[in-house]
Amino acid sequence: MDNPSPVDLQDFRCESSDRNTGPLHKHEYITSRYVWIHHTHVWRPPTDVYETELAIQVQVEVAGMEHADIAVTLEGRVLRITGNRKDHQERRVYHQMEIHTGEFLTEVDLPVAVEPDYIRAHYHDGFLLVDLRKLQATPNAT
User: What is the residue-wise DSSP string for 88-116?
Assistant: PSS----S------EEEEEEEE-SS-EEE
Q: Which CATH number fits domain 42-134: 2.40.70.10, 2.40.50.100, 3.30.470.30, 2.60.40.790?
A: 2.60.40.790
User: Is the pLDDT reported for residue 121 higher than 60?
Assistant: yes
SS3 content of the chain, % helix, strand, coil (to 5): 5, 50, 45
pLDDT surpassing 50 at residue 136: yes
Q: CB within 8 A of 61, min separation 6: which ones?
A: 45, 46, 47, 126, 127
Residue ranges per structural domain of the chain: 7-41, 42-134
Predicted pLDDT at 6? 41
Residue range 26-36: average pLDDT? Answer: 51
Give the model confidence (pLDDT) of 44-97 as tens digits.
999 999 999 999 999 999 999 988 899 999 999 999 999 999 887 788 888 888
What's the one-letter identity of residue 90? Answer: E
